[in-house]
Amino acid sequence: APFSGYRRFFSLAEWRYAGTALLVKKSLAPPKITYEFGDGVDTFAGHDENGRIIVAEFPSGLRVLNTYVPMNGWSEEKNFGRRRAWDARMLAFASRAKEEGRDFVWLGDLNVAHQDCDVSDPTWFRAQKDRGKNGVPVPAVPPEDKGQPGYSQTEQRRFGEILEAGGLVDTFRAIHPALPPPDAGSASFSWRGSAHKTDIYYNRGMRVDYVCVSERLQARVRSSVVLGSGPERKG
């Protein structure tokens, strides 16, 4: 059976499409599993209400956090505040992990392209806040909030602060340093637009999925790759 060699853990949303899953090899000692940051915010029977969090704590002291970070969205009134609140909670969680001196892994859909080399066309993606969702104009937003959700300056800054507070390293970027944006068809982007050539997102990509590890764990990382390339996500 698929994944028969793994223990499977799920945190499901009460509604819509959110949720997370974590697979742990059965050869490893069973971890303690929780489904929240532990700060008492937005929980339902011990779970994040949208199923966005799984925390695995292993007997060795390793802590693994799997998250599906909420998207920043297109407007202050609907989404910006929610994302700011999430990032503040994540900053506190990462800071605690570092203070405790534990090996720490943070992975999942983190919904942010940290640097220009994490998108296929920085200028185009930054300009999208002028266009708005589905081409509908949006009210003026501060320059730091300008851009495709996941690529605004405020999201990038807060993500950097979380990495620093937690002493975390972006494994993909550590292994694959890239200053200019990679070719749009390369295997560098975990999110891609529609495969339909008439769509404005055709052949555009963002790297918004990560595996981040404590600095002392980075030397043990052998590989960090994105599977699939090009608008058809081949591979």
Active centre residues (catalytic)? 68, 109
Q: Distance between CA atoms of 102 and 42, rounded to whole angstroms?
A: 25
**CA angle at 156 for the pair 105 and 186, rounded to the nearest 5°:** 75
Cβ-proximal residues to 154 (8 Å cutoff; 6+ apart), any chain:
84, 144, 145
Short-list 55, 128, 129, 38, CA closest to 92: 38
Pull the structure tokens for residue 74.
């297109």
Q: Distance between CA atoms of 135 and 165, rounded to whole angstroms?
A: 37
